[in-house]
Amino acid sequence: MPIESINPYDGNRVRIYDEHSDEAVGEIVGSAHRAFEDWRARSFDERAGVVRKAAAILRAEKEAFAELMALEMGKPVAQGRAEAEKSAWVLDYYAENAEAFLSEETVETNAVASHVVFEPLGVVLAVMPWNFPFWQVFRFAAPALMAGNTGVLKHASNVSGSALAIEDVFGRAGAPAGVFGVVLVPGRRVGRLIEDPRVRAVTLTGSTPAGKAVASQAGAVLKKTVLELGGSDPYLILDDADLEKTAADCAFARLINGGQSCIAAKRFIVLESIRARFEELFCEAMSRRTMGDPLDEKTLIGPQARHDLRDELHDQVVRSTRAGARLLLGGEIPSGAGAFYPPTVLTDVRPGMPAYDDELFGPVASVIGVADEDEAIRVANDTVFGLGAAVYTSDADQAARVVAALEAGSCFINGFVRSDPRLPFGGIKESGYGRELSSYGIREFVNVKTVCRIA
């Protein structure tokens, strides 16, 4: 069946792609498998040369890539340019550091000599989402390829153009045929890819249900997985926080990428003594973010990526208000074309409401009032997710105490949660397992091999 890409701003078709046949998919995987032996044998410097050229292409052509992202999933072009730049950063980072991260480690034992080496596994299958169509891919590809693995990408269908553009970037950068390939298939065919014996490992960024399905399929054939899944990041605002800065930070963190981010701020847990003032400042900051054409430089919020996702989000808001949440801002689907949803703030949010229990993947904020620090921590951890968290306070001791109690893969103090190539990134609980980025990320898809000489 054809794969269709629809512009969420005007509803027009961007392009139709032919779904790959089983034979074509087999050839793409086979090409990656055949390329592995040559690629792994190349020096780190040789691999880095390709990866650095890919980074240079991203920077030189960021305008075109930003426009492509805007057309396929509604990302404002300014944010698309930043995504291309960040993708180039992660490529350069691993080109510079991969050899040191994977250098042989000598271990003192009773043997004559013993050491640990890190060797690539082979073909890594990446199942990637639409919300950061370039960054998510390069976040996996930079360490995987620098470690000597080859990659096969199954991207979200609505960003097939981005997938093919990334494949082209690596090709023009000098990657040998097969080192990085793209399969155009729907999600229902991922299981067969995982079962292919030439695929040695799987990484997925996406929803928790998708992660559970991939983990089950990969587990059945004993293949390593790294899963970065959903999140409902809590932001704890304590009574000595700088409220004007905090409100501005929180609005930015909730609305980046139209709120369509696993590590976007989602639940704002505020001490009752300052809640009214925070809500006032927060609503002001949220209301200043303008919606519009993602190709317009002035646009801060584009449409949601698809109409069905926008409608699901609105249903979560409606069900929350019916259960007693109070609407402070937004909450109505605007008239006209485009999958738009306005910046929305809900307060008096309690357990049992979608705004409390579920991930809201769009520009909707949940404000939850609490009596004290202990209740703030309890509410923050009262979720199946554990991706990111932030705390705002001017008391360094209090910040350290709170962070130590939070159940999350990343915790930020007086700043919004973000990813950085130099720091490990991932979650716990139903936000997944494994780590990407930094030295931890590149060691996920290698064989940690012990070598001992006894005599």
What is the average per-residue pLDDT within 388-404? 98
Could you tell me the two tokens for 86? 């960040």
Domain presence at residue 45: yes
Q: 151 pairs with which residues across the strands?
A: 124, 180
Residue 8 has pLDDT above 80, yes or no: yes
pLDDT at residue 386 is higher than 90: yes
Phi, psi of 327 (to 5 degrees): -85, 120
Overall average pLDDT of the 401-411 stretch:
98
Contacts of 350 (CB under 8 A, 6+ apart): 323, 324, 325, 356, 368
CATH number at residue 398: 3.40.309.10
Catalytic residues: 228, 262
Question: Alpha helices, DSSP H only, in 74-121?
Answer: 77-101
Residue (of 190, 201, 156, 193) closest to 27 by Cα position: 193
Domain membership of residue 185 (yes or no) is yes
CA-based end-to-end distance of the chain: 61
Structure tokens at 364: 């909707």
Average pLDDT over residues 308-331: 98
Q: What is the pLDDT at residue 413?
A: 98
Structure tokens that stand for 289 in this block = 């973010």
- Is the domain of 211 the same as that of 69? yes
Same domain, yes or no: 301 and 315:
yes
Residue pair 261/417 in contact (Cβ under 8 Å)? The answer is no
> CA angle, 319 as apex, 391 and 128 as ends, to 5°?
60
Distance CA 187, CA 160 (A): 13
What does pTM read for this prediction? 0.97
Angle at 372 between CA 371 and CA 373, to 5 degrees: 150
Tens-digit pLDDT profile for residues 160-169: 999 999 999 9
Q: Return d(Cα 254, Cα 79) in angstroms, integer.
A: 14
Residue 1, pLDDT score = 77
Residue 31 lies in a domain: yes
In a domain? residue 334? yes
Q: Per-residue pLDDT averaged across 309-315, rounded?
A: 98
* Residue 326 clears pLDDT 90, i.e. is over it: yes
- How many H helices and E strands in the chain? 15, 18
Distance CA 84, CA 69 (A): 10
What average pLDDT does this structure show over 64-87? Answer: 98
Whole-number pLDDT of residue 265? 98
Tokens describing residue 200: 């040695």
**Contact, 344 vs 291, CB < 8 A?**
no
Return the pLDDT at 76.
98
> Six-digit token pair at 105?
């480690």
Token digits of residue 370: 């609490």
56 and 177 part of one domain: yes
One domain, residues 336 and 400: yes
Q: Are residues 163 and 244 in the same domain?
A: no
Cα separations (Å) of 379 from 265, 324, 370, 454?
A: 15, 18, 8, 55
259 with 113, same domain: the answer is no
How far is the C-alpha of 331 from the C-alpha of 265, rounded, in Å? Answer: 18
- Asked if 244 and 323 sit in the same domain, the reply is yes
SS3 396: helix
Q: Is the pLDDT of residue 194 over 90?
A: yes
DSSP H helices in 42-176: 44-60, 62-73, 77-101, 135-146, 160-172
Whether 419 is in a domain gets the answer no
Q: Which two tokens stand for residue 399?
A: 């910040």
Average of per-residue pLDDT values in the chain: 98
Check whether residue 152 and residue 274 sit in a common domain.
Answer: no
The average pLDDT across 357-375 equals: 98
135 lies in the same domain as 205 = yes
> For the residues 9-16, what does the mean pLDDT come to?
96
- Position 101 scores a pLDDT of 98
In a domain, 284, yes or no: yes
Return d(Cα 318, Cα 55) in angstroms, integer: 44
User: 124 and 6 share a domain?
Assistant: yes
What the block records as the tokens of 116 is: 């640990």
Task: Let me know whether 269 and 124 are in one domain.
Answer: no
The DSSP line for 242-301 is -HHHHHHHHHHHHHGGGG--TTSEEEEEEEHHHHHHHHHHHHHHHHTSPB--TTSTT-SB
Q: How many CA atoms lie within 13 A of 151 on its CB side?
A: 29
- Residue 99: give its domain's CATH number: 3.40.605.10
pLDDT in tens, 14-43: 999 999 999 999 999 999 999 999 999 999
Give me the residue label for tokens 């973000």.
418
Q: Do 386 and 348 share a structural domain?
A: yes
Q: pLDDT tens digit string along 408-451? A: 999 999 999 999 999 999 999 999 999 999 999 999 999 999 99
Whether 179 is covered by a domain: the verdict is yes
Please list, residue by residue across 388-409, b when 16 or more beta carbons sit within 10 angstroms of its beta carbon and e when fewer do: bbbbbbeeeeebeebbeebbbb
pLDDT category at 150 given cuts 50, 70, 90 is very high
Residue 252, judged by CB atoms within 10 A of its CB (0-12, 13-18, 19+), counts as middle
Q: Which DSSP category does 161 fall into?
A: H
In-domain check, residue 444: yes
Q: How many separate domains does the chain show?
A: 2
Dist CA 356 CA 380 (whole Å): 10
- Domain of residue 310: give its range: 233-413
Output DSSP code: residue 21: P
User: What H or E segment, with its residue span, contains residue 28?
Assistant: helix 22-41
